[in-house]
Structures are given as C-alpha cells and as structure tokens.
Amino acid sequence: MSGIYLRFLPELGLLGLALVLFFIAVGPGQEADEREPADSRRKRLIRAAIAGDRVALVGGGVVLILAILAVRQAGPLFFGAYRVALFSQVIKIILAAGLFFNIWLAQEAQSLAPRERPELMLFLSLSTLGMMMLVSADELISFYVALEIAAYSLYILVPLTRGHGDHNEAAFKYFLYGAATSAVALFGMSILFGLAGSSSIPQIATALSANPSTLAVTALLLTLGGVFFKLAVFPFHFWAPDVYQTTSHSVAAFIAGTSKVGAVAALLRLLLMGLSLDQLYWLLGALALLSMSYGNLAALAQRDFKRLLAYSGVAQGGYILLGLAALDSAAYAAASYYAIAYLALMLLCFLVVIELGRTRHGVRADGSTDNSLPIDALGGLYSRSPWLALALMIGLLGLAGVPPTAGFSGKWFLFKAILDQGGFWWVLIAGINNTIAVYYYLVVLKAAYVTPAADGATAIETSLWPRALTLSVGLGVVVLGIAPQIIMPTLQAAVSAMIGS
Amino acid sequence: MSLSQWGLLTIGAPLVTFVLFLLGVGRRPTLTVALSLTTAALACAGTWAMAITLPEAGYQATTPWAATADFSIHLGIRLTGLSTAMGLVVGTIHLLVQLYSLGYMATDPAQARYFAVLSLFASAMLSVVYAADLIQTFIAWELVGLSSYLLIGFWNFKPSAAQAAKKAFIMTRFGDLGLFLGLALLMLNMPVEAGGARNLLIALILEAVANNDLAGNLFGYDQHTVIGLLLLCGIVGKSAQFPLHSWLPDAMEGPTPVSALLHSATMVAAGVYLFALLQPLFLASSITSTVALGIASFTAVMAAGVAMVNPDMKRVLAWSSISQLSFMLMGLAAGSEVAGFFHLVTHAGFKCLLFLSAGIFIHLAHSGDLTEIGRKVGSRSRAASLGLLVGAASLAGVPAMAGFMSKEVILAQLHQPGYEGFYWLALLGSAMTAYYATRMAAVILRSDSAAVSHHRDTEQTKQEVDHDSNHQGGLADSIMAMTVVGLALVTLGLGWLGPQLAGHLGLDAELVAIDWDSMGVGLAVTALLAGGGLAWYDYGRTGAYREGFLSGLPAIEAMLKDGWHMDRCWRWVSDKIIAGLTLSALFIDRRAIDRSIDGVADGARSGGVLAASLQSGRLQWYLSLTLAVLAVALILLEWK
C-alpha cells in the first residue's frame, strides 16, 4: 500500500464502516411492505438492528487497530489541505477508542427503536470521521467542512429517540444554535482569509505573527468560537443541559466524551500551528475561569444526573481551556492528557446512566420518551448493583480529582504547568472551583452508596459486557493515575513535534 | 526470573488477592482463601529467591513515579543483606500464619475479609522492607497501619475491638506525624542530585550521612539530631515504645494469628527495622542514640514489669513483645549492626510460636485467662504445650535456645564502658523476662501442682475439652498443631544461625559469637536463674501458692496490672489538655469558620440558582448572551 493510503488509513477504515452501516440502515431489511404481518416485520427490524450493532462493534475495533497501525505516519495529503503528524495520529487513536467504547455502550440501546439503531451507529461513525479530519485539516475550508461533518451527524442523532417529546425542542435549539455559531466562525475565517490572503492555516499563522493586529485577535476568537460550541464552554454551552437531558443516553455519552476530545484536539491543533497571539492568553484564561465557575455553580443546583454531568462538563471544559490559555507546550500536553482522562471518566459515568436507563420505564403517560435521570433514581445503587456503583465511584472521584485516578494526575499536570507559567491566581481560582465541584459529585455518590433504594427497586443484573467495560476503563483510569508516564511522554513528544514544525 | 521481577511478584502477588477481593471475589470465601494462600506462597518463594540470589554488591531497581522540579519520588526495590533477611522473616511467617489461620478461622463467617486484609498487610509490609525510597516506605508504612487497624477491629461487632483498633490507629498516627516531619526535613537537607531535584533514596541518604553532607545547624542543634529524633517518633509509635506503647496490649482484641503476625513478629518490628536501615543516621548524633537507648531500656523494664502480673495470656505476650522490641532497639542504638536485628529474627520465630500456641489454648479453653487455660486445658494439648515450652524457654533465655543466643549478643554489646546503666537495666529486664516466661509456662502446664487447687473441677474440665475438640473438627486442629510443631522445630535451630545471618548482612561472624567463659554469660544465667527460680517457687513447684511475690505489695501490683497507669495519663492528657484545646478550637470553629463557610456555601448555592436561571429555554436569549460575552471580550481587548 502506498504512503498516501497508509496516512489516510484510520479515516478510510471509518469511511468503509460508515458505508456498510449505511447499507444496513437503508438496506433491503428496512423497507416497509404493506402485506407483511407486523410481527414478522418487527422481528426483521430487530435482526437488522442487532446485525448493525455487531458490525459497528467489530468495525470500531478494526478502526482502532488501524489508527494504532498508522500512528507513525507523517506528511501532507491532498495538496497540502491535510497533514498527518504524530499529534493528529495520537488523537485519532483516542477518538477511535472513544468511538469503540461508545459503540460498546450503545449495544442494544433501549431508548432507540430498532429501526433507528443502525442509523445511530452510522452517524456515530460519521461524526468521529469528521473529528478525525478536524485534527488533520491544514486549510480553513477543510477545517470547516470537517467541523460540519462532525456537527451535522450530531444534529441528526440528538432527536433520534423513541416517540415524541421535548428532545425535539432541544434538538432543534441545538441545531439553530450550532448554525449560528458556525456563522460566527465563518465570519472569523473570512477575516483571517482577508488578512492573510490565503486559506492555508500555516500561512495565516505566519501572516498573523508578522502583523498581530486587534482585528486578527478578533477574527481568531470568532473562529475558535465554532469549536467552543462543540466543547460547550461558557458562553457557548446553552444547548448542553437540555440536549444531555433529553436525548438518548447513548448519544449523550458520545457528545459528552468523544465529541469533546475532538473539540479539544481541534483547538489545540489551531494553537499549535501558530494560530495564537499573546492577547489570547488572558482572553482564553478569562473564558476558562468563567466557564468553570459558572459550570460548577450551576451544577450545584441540579436535580437531574445528566444535567449535572452537562454542567460539570462546562466546568471541566474550563479546566482544559485554562491549560490551553497558558500557551505553553507542557500545558498543552497536560490539557490533552486531561481530555483523555475526561473521556474515560465520562464513559464510566454514562455506563451507569445507560445501564440504569434499561431498568427505568422511560415512557411518559403521553407515550413520549423520558430520557432524564433524576439523582434520586441512583438511590441504593450499591445494593442494587455493586458493579455500577463501583463504576460510578471511579468516574465521579476521577472527575472530582481524587487520587489515584487519572482525574487527579491530569489536574496535577495541568495546575503545575500553569503554575510554572506564573498563573498562580488562575490555579487558585481553579482550586476553589474544584472544592465546589467535589460537593456535587459527592452528593451523587452519597445517593448511590448511602441512601437506601426506593421501594420496589430491584437488583440490576449487569451482564458480562458492562462489567468488562467497568473493569477495563476503571483499571485504565487508576493505572493512568498511578503511572501517568505511560502516555505522558508520547503526548509531550506529539505536542513539541507540532510546535517544532 | 530477574531480581526486579521477583520483587514485583513478591510485593504484587498478595496485593492482587486484596484487589480481587474488593472486586467481588470476596463473595466466594473458598476462592479468596485459596487465592490468598497461593499468593502468600508465591510471595514467600519470592523472598527466598531474592535472599539466595542476592549479588554481593546488593541490587537496586527503581522507576521514577512522581517528579517536580524540586524533588522526585521513586518506586522500586533495594535489596541488601538486611532487607532480604527481613523479607525472608516476613514472607515465611506470613505464609505460616496463613496456614495456621486455615484452621483458626475455619468457622468464621467473614473468613474472606480476614484473608484478604492479611494479604494487603503482607504486600504493604514487604513494600516497607524492600522499598528503595523512604517515601515509598512511608506510604507502605501507613498501609501497614491501615491493615493493622482493619485486623485489630476484625470482629467489629465487639465494641472493645473497635475501640482498640481506633486507639492503635490514632496512637501510631502521633508517631507518624513526627516521622513525616522528619522525612520532610531530611528531604529539604539532602544534597541536590543531577537534574536539580532532591530525593529520598535510601542508598543516597546513607551516602550523604557517610559524606557528612547532612551536617548543619537546625534550631540550634545538629541536623542529624533533629531529623533523627523526629524519625524516632515514628519508630516509637510503630514499635510500641514508651510513651506510645499502650495500644499494643489492647491490639490483642484481634484474632490470635493476627497478633502473631502483626503485633509481635513483623509489623511492630518495622520500627526496629527502620532504625536498622538508617542506623548510621541515628548513630551520627550521640543525643539521638542516647535518647533511643534510654527510651528502650526504660521500656524494656517497664513492660516486663506489667507482663509479670497480667492475668491474660495474650496480654502477657503483648507486654513481652514491647519489652523484647526494646531489647532490639538497645542493641541497635548501642551501635551493633547485627545484635538487634538478630534478636528481631529469633524473636519473630519464638514469639510467633508462643502466639500460635496461645491460639490453640484459647480456642480450647474459650478464655484467655492464664489460670483458666491451665485449669481447662493444661498440658493436654501436646502441640500447644510443646510450642509453649520451646517458646517460653527461648523467651526466658535458657542457654542455647534462640532467645538466649541473640539477647546475649545485645548484652555483650552493652557490656562495655559508657553503657553501664543501660547494661544493668537490661539484665534486670532479663531477670523479669525469665520470671514472666516461667510463670506463664508454669501456670498453664503445672496446673495440677497447685496447693489450693481446683481438683474437683478436673473431671468436668476433661469433658469440656473433649467436647470442644470434637466440636472443632479434626482437620482444623491438626493444621494448627502441625504449624506449631513445625515452627517449634525451626525455633530450636534458629539461635545457631547467627553466623549465617551475620554473613548474609556482610559482617564478620565473630560479631555474634558468644564467649561462653565470660562474666556476661554468667550474669545472664544468674538473671535467668533468679527470675525463673522465683517464678518456679511462686507458681511451679508442687504445693506452690500460685500467687506472685508481688501480691505482697498490693500498691505496686495494682499499678503494674493497670500498665503503670499509662492509659490514665493519656486519658488525663486527652481530657484536660486536648479537650481544652478542642473547646477553644470548637469556639473558633463555630463562631468564625462555620459562619464564613456557611456564608460561602449559601453564596455558592444561590450563585448556582442564579447561574442555572440563565438557562431560560429561549434560544434568542442564549444567542444574544453568547454574542454579548464575545462583544464584551473584544471591547476589553481593544481597551487594553
């Protein structure tokens, strides 16, 4: 195989998987036939759905392997519109792993009709493909197209859930909000293009550093806004709580985890390619502090676990943004480490959400789907399923930054890198924020471990799969927490290679 | 396998048992027990492999774990003669105790938890032993403390056990506070390594002491003194020396095999081991070594005094452990490189033997009271009697027995100019040891010799015993008996391994040779005869009154039985001084801190409500807000 294909290997694999899923989603099994009895049609659809689930799982695993195989590739593609380097390849592995685990979690998703399950898998793959392209795009146009591929798949996924209900409202707001921020980003890009006379990001970077005007900073901030929307940091987060709460658990898991890693990576790459000016330092820092303070405070007031995770995500995005604001390679590496840890912790939390969702009668009186999950519903989780309680404990303690989880070591790297840059006050505010955050994480843990189960709550039978997922991801979180040097040097190398080029 | 792999296996295998227990294997007791025994055997094999294949120059393998610009922490193993010998003791006794526990805990419903925590202890203790970095030592040291807490309070339905566990945990924590401060001070004063970072690798500390790099003034004293005294706090707490000793007798609330493993043979010896490890640092300051010697010799006599009158078998053994640990510390603090450690090894053997025998006695008698055991069991359990005889003879210091051989080396070390006071205290302690050891053996084994005896009970007692042994089940009993007999045989030979041990430590075998013609041996034998003879007169001979000579001095006897009123002192300290501090702290807490925290919390809560209220549900509002924030940011940018 020639070098070009090797460089594009993970994306090609993902594209192939999406094609296969596409045929399952619209294929011969799906068409309606008036003469066929409803019962046999239902069985046929379920068969197709299960086939789609399994194909996606195997395909996700293959893509993960392909991404690992392609990690040492480097070089430009497509006439310089696309660039493959260690940083992009490492992020692709993380994204592929995130997709794989998301597919794993979404196996036989209960909140979706069987007909829609192949579509869920299809758009999960497509969205990941968009993110993979996002971290390799070297051109404003390819960057924007990749951003929209990632976003549009999600616009379709969010309303994809049984019956009708408020998720449609949330999905529509999500779409409109996304379209508006896209417009803002495009506006910023057009100014960048006007300033540099080129749409190639490296050339824009050279032009900007030669002439760092206020207009350039404005344009940059507007462009980054398009990505802030995906990362859901304040004030671009308004869609998040409603979407998290009302969309199906599997989609929420993807938006909360993998999608955010993609956003962080895209931001990082823009900064690493030199698209950064010193004025960004305090702009990003201010946004980060606002985001974490706002997210943590708002999370305090939540009664719904998924909404709480959404606001906690706003705050966690703030920590990551703080690392980016330090404009320093150690802080960049720490931020990517933290994003990876965050992905793993989100997987654990949403594992609990999804497994718990199976046992709840998620249908309202009017036939619409209820995808919310009140914190009270976690009561007595420990006695109902020790496995899920364990997953929840590792996940929440990790988010709270308690050792020996990767959440702790990630915060440690992050805060240390910022301190080394002289950001004492930033770290102080972040520390205070973390203290507030511990409270609401512990409230959830208290519900799971201390509060007795509600009357009539039965034991939750967890099958082998969620147990295996708890074990593998939980163990990964703890091992990374104790021995972060397993991946930290790779991340540092990837980041410095980007700065050097 | 390479040494580092063996090290990983030795420390890691028992930990695996504990982790699997937590992950749900604990619901299957048989599986947990099987796992626990397997990993114990693996760890034991590892300790032997490392001791046998240890290269002449020692071995060290570390990996950096956490590093900042100023200091770095390493995880790893450091194999020297000392650490491999100590590891051998820990690994072997741990395996023996696990085997014994198969019988002892056979009917306990929480068996799985017991074995799992025992495994956690083994892993942590071996990590203390082999650690290359003092921070690793400290982490494992605290884990050892945790497992001690969990095991003392194993029968947590008993309030006394829960109380004892808490006491042990808090009292040792006092000492650990000093230890931690000492480590921090040591870290700050270590020479800077290449790369600009300091660390606490033991090898480097010893090198720094040897090069006199630590010399300097701190609070008007030599740095060695300040650091050494702080580290000594931790040792005093862990090894239960005065004044932090009173947790150890209470720790006997735990199951007897736990007392054998943790609270006599290995865990409490960790303090002594740490002293041996850093001996040059302690000896570098005459103040530190004299303080250590003073504390140890005082504790030796004090604890032996309590052991002379205590009616409870396990508590006698516990006070005896305190006293014997003091002997070890005396040997080390007096400057001998092998004496104290040799005694640690032999003591681990014979005290473990005594405890395991005590376990059988207590199981049969359903009581820990010496007289009760003598009345109900006496010499009818042959294995336990053998264990008791060998152990007690060794403890008392009968020539040629293990305890005599190693204690003689300590006494010889002290028997030189400058140490006269300590030497006579040690001899006094030896005589007292002989007294309580003989008393214990005589009360149990010569119960039918008593003048005012309980003859009429004998027939009934016999039935009780028979009933019990039927009830216990043959297999459990024979496992316990076999372990005890095996350990008894090992203990008999242990005293003659001194030259091998010295050789393993890289020292001259002459250091442990005993000069049989010397006055020292004569004095030691005199002490033995005086103490043992007196006890025999009081308890052993036919027609003895079975009351100690101290019963003639009720005031002293009462004081000793109460453990020198030490617990009362501590209670006074905690009631008067600490409670006073607490009250004033409480006042500040209620008035100042609580109010401000409440204020902050209320603020945060209302801030949360306010923040959440931004979420109006109206898209136009969201978008305007987003753009407004962006606009404000850009205006600020321009204005700056």
Chain A CB within 8 Å of residue B611 CB? yes
Has residue B470 got a pLDDT over 60?
no
Has residue A411 got a pLDDT over 80?
yes
Quote the CA–CA distance of B194 and A461 in Å, as a whole number. Answer: 55
Query: Of B612, B617, B619, which has the smallest distance from its Cβ to A298's Cβ?
Result: B612
In contact, B502 and B338? CB cutoff 8 Å: yes
Query: Of B622, B633, B634, which has the smallest distance from its Cβ to A238's Cβ?
Result: B622
The alpha carbon of residue B606 is apart from the nearest alpha carbon of chain A, in Å, by 9
- When pLDDT is averaged across residues A242-249 and rounded to a whole number, the result is 88
Query: Of A221, A301, A390, which has the smallest distance from its Cβ to B630's Cβ?
Result: A221
User: How many secondary structure helices (H) and strands (E) does chain B include?
Assistant: 28, 4
Contact at CB, A297 and B68, closer than 8 angstroms: no
Single-letter code of the amino acid located at B118: L
Chain B CB within 8 Å of residue A359 CB? no
Has residue A227 got a pLDDT over 70?
yes
A426-430, B23-27, B427-431: which has the highest mean pLDDT? A426-430
In contact, B300 and B323? CB cutoff 8 Å: yes
Has residue B26 got a pLDDT over 50?
yes
Query: Of B23, B611, B638, which has the smallest distance from its Cβ to A298's Cβ?
Result: B611
Q: Is residue A419 part of a domain?
A: yes
A222-226, A357-361, B213-217, B613-617: which has the highest mean pLDDT? A222-226
Looking up tokens 């956490």, which residue turns up? B66
Specify the pLDDT at position B460.
42
Q: Is residue A456 part of a domain?
A: yes
- When pLDDT is averaged across residues A402-418 and rounded to a whole number, the result is 90
Query: A464: burial class by Cβ within 10 Å (0-12, 13-18, 19+)?
Result: exposed
Contact at CB, A300 and B619, closer than 8 angstroms: no
Strand (E) or helix (H) holding B576:
none
Q: Which stretch of A389-398, B92-101, B391-400, B586-595 has the lowest confidence by average pLDDT?
A: B586-595
Which residues are CB-neighbours of A58 under 8 A, at least 6 positions away? none
Has residue B365 got a pLDDT over 60?
yes
% of chain B exceeding 70 in pLDDT: 93
Chain A CB within 8 Å of residue B604 CB? yes
Contact at CB, A283 and B605, closer than 8 angstroms: no
Chain A CB within 8 Å of residue B612 CB? yes
Q: Which residues of B touch A239 (CB under 8 A)?
A: 622
Specify the pLDDT at position A98.
94
The residue of chain B with its CA nearest to that of A413 is: B68
The residue of chain A with its CA nearest to that of B609 is: A301
The alpha carbon of residue A217 is apart from the nearest alpha carbon of chain B, in Å, by 9
Query: Of A222, A235, A301, which has the smallest distance from its Cβ to B625's Cβ?
Result: A235
Specify the pLDDT at position A166.
64
Chain A CB within 8 Å of residue B572 CB? no
Q: Is residue A114 part of a domain?
A: no
Which residues are CB-neighbours of B494 under 8 A, at least 6 positions away? B345, B346, B349, B350, B402
Specify the pLDDT at position A179.
92
Indicate left, alpha or beta for A5 from its phi (over 0: left) and psi (-120 to 50: alpha): alpha
Specify the pLDDT at position B455.
43
- Specify the higher pLDDT residue, A309 or B111: A309
Q: Is residue A383 part of a domain?
A: yes
- When pLDDT is averaged across residues B355-380 and rounded to a whole number, the result is 80
* Model confidence pLDDT, tens digit, residues A248-294: 888 999 999 999 999 999 999 888 887 777 778 888 888 999 999 99
* Model confidence pLDDT, tens digit, residues A138-167: 899 999 999 999 999 999 998 887 666 666
Q: Which residues of A touch B622 (CB under 8 A)?
A: 173, 177, 238-239
Contact at CB, B622 and A181, closer than 8 angstroms: no
Greatest Cα pair distance in chain A? 73
Contact at CB, A184 and B630, closer than 8 angstroms: yes
Contact at CB, B612 and A301, closer than 8 angstroms: yes
Q: Which of B125, B53, B131 is CA-nearest to residue B95?
A: B125
Give the model's confidence band at A2: pLDDT under 50 very low, under 70 low, under 90 confident, else very high.
low
- Specify the higher pLDDT residue, B236 or A27: B236
pTM to 2 decimal places: 0.70
Dihedral angle over CA of A152, A154, A156, A160, nearest 10: 180
Mutation target among A224, A243, A300, A488 for the B interface, most CBs of B within 10 A: A300
Q: How many CB pairs under 8 A join A and B?
A: 75
Residues 37-96 of chain B whose Cβ lies under 8 A from any Cβ of chain A? 64-65, 68-69
- Specify the higher pLDDT residue, B412 or A62: A62
Q: Is residue A376 part of a domain?
A: yes
The residue of chain A with its CA nearest to that of B628 is: A235
- Classified as helix, coil or strand, A285 is helix
Contact at CB, A239 and B622, closer than 8 angstroms: yes
Mean pLDDT of chain B: 81
Give the model's confidence band at B379: pLDDT under 50 very low, under 70 low, under 90 confident, else very high.
confident
Contact at CB, A181 and B626, closer than 8 angstroms: yes
Q: Which stretch of A32-41, A360-369, B150-159, B340-349 has the lowest confidence by average pLDDT?
A: A360-369
Q: Which of B410, B49, B56, B80 is CA-nearest to residue B277?
A: B80
Q: Which residues of B touch A301 (CB under 8 A)?
A: 605, 608-609, 611-612
Quote the CA–CA distance of B74 and B200 in Å, as a whole number. Answer: 8
Quote the CA–CA distance of A212 and A215 in Å, as a whole number. Answer: 8
The alpha carbon of residue A193 is apart from the nearest alpha carbon of chain B, in Å, by 19
Specify the pLDDT at position A115.
82
Has residue B101 got a pLDDT over 70?
yes
- When pLDDT is averaged across residues B298-309 and rounded to a whole number, the result is 85
% of chain A exceeding 70 in pLDDT: 95
Quote the CA–CA distance of B239 and B179 in Å, as a whole number. Answer: 13
Specify the pLDDT at position B194.
65
* Model confidence pLDDT, tens digit, residues B236-250: 988 888 888 888 888
What residues does each domain of chain B span?
A: 304-549, 564-639
Chain B CB within 8 Å of residue A177 CB? yes
Q: Kindly write down the DSSP assignment for every residue of B108-123, as one continuous string.
A: -TTHHHHHHHHHHHHH
Q: Which residues of B touch A242 (CB under 8 A)?
A: 615, 617
The residue of chain A with its CA nearest to that of B627 is: A235
Q: Is residue A438 part of a domain?
A: yes
Has residue B451 got a pLDDT over 50?
no
A307-311, B172-176, B210-214, B229-233: which has the highest mean pLDDT? A307-311
- Specify the higher pLDDT residue, B47 or B104: B47
The residue of chain A with its CA nearest to that of B638 is: A214
Chain A CB within 8 Å of residue B619 CB? yes
The residue of chain B with its CA nearest to that of A471 is: B23
Single-letter code of the amino acid located at A176: L
In contact, B406 and B495? CB cutoff 8 Å: yes
Query: Of A221, A238, A297, which has the smallest distance from its Cβ to B615's Cβ?
Result: A238
Specify the pLDDT at position A168.
80
Q: Is residue A39 part of a domain?
A: no
Domains in chain A: how many in total? Answer: 1
Specify the pLDDT at position B456.
42
Residues 236-265 of chain A whose Cβ lies under 8 A from any Cβ of chain B? 236, 238-239, 241-242
Quote the CA–CA distance of B266 and B128 in Å, as a whole number. Answer: 11
Specify the pLDDT at position B397.
80
Which residues are CB-neighbours of A454 under 8 A, at least 6 positions away? A376, A377, A379, A380
Specify the pLDDT at position B471.
45
Specify the pLDDT at position B164.
84
* Model confidence pLDDT, tens digit, residues B489-529: 888 888 788 788 888 888 877 777 777 777 778 888 888 88
- When pLDDT is averaged across residues A481-487 and rounded to a whole number, the result is 88
Has residue B467 got a pLDDT over 50?
no
Chain A CB within 8 Å of residue B629 CB? yes
The residue of chain A with its CA nearest to that of B634 is: A218
The alpha carbon of residue B15 is apart from the nearest alpha carbon of chain A, in Å, by 14
- Classified as helix, coil or strand, B290 is helix
Give the model's confidence band at B640: pLDDT under 50 very low, under 70 low, under 90 confident, else very high.
low
Mutation target among A176, A246, A297, A420 for the B interface, most CBs of B within 10 A: A297
Contact at CB, B637 and A236, closer than 8 angstroms: no
Quote the CA–CA distance of B342 and B81 in Å, as a whole number. Answer: 12
**Full residue range of the structural domain in which residue A413 is found:** 289-501
The residue of chain A with its CA nearest to that of B621 is: A238
Looking up tokens 């033997």, which residue turns up? B353
Give the model's confidence band at B464: pLDDT under 50 very low, under 70 low, under 90 confident, else very high.
very low
- When pLDDT is averaged across residues A44-60 and rounded to a whole number, the result is 89
Q: Which residues of A touch B619 (CB under 8 A)?
A: 173, 176-177
Q: Which stretch of A177-191, A274-288, A352-366, B202-216 has the lowest confidence by average pLDDT?
A: A352-366
The residue of chain A with its CA nearest to that of B611 is: A298
The alpha carbon of residue B637 is apart from the nearest alpha carbon of chain A, in Å, by 8
Which residues are CB-neighbours of B523 under 8 A, at least 6 positions away? B411, B427
Q: Is residue A345 part of a domain?
A: yes
In contact, B349 and B494? CB cutoff 8 Å: yes
The alpha carbon of residue A47 is apart from the nearest alpha carbon of chain B, in Å, by 35
Question: What φ, ψ does residue B125 adopt, rounded to 5°?
Answer: -65, -40
Query: Of A181, A214, A482, which has the smallest distance from its Cβ to B638's Cβ?
Result: A214
* Model confidence pLDDT, tens digit, residues A373-406: 888 888 888 888 888 898 999 999 999 988 889 9
Structure tokens, B150: 């969990």
Contact at CB, A214 and B605, closer than 8 angstroms: no
Specify the pLDDT at position A164.
60
Q: Which residues of B touch A294 (CB under 8 A)?
A: 611
Give the model's confidence band at B459: pLDDT under 50 very low, under 70 low, under 90 confident, else very high.
very low
Specify the pLDDT at position B452.
43
Query: Of B23, B604, B614, which has the smallest distance from its Cβ to A300's Cβ?
Result: B604
Chain B CB within 8 Å of residue A496 CB? no
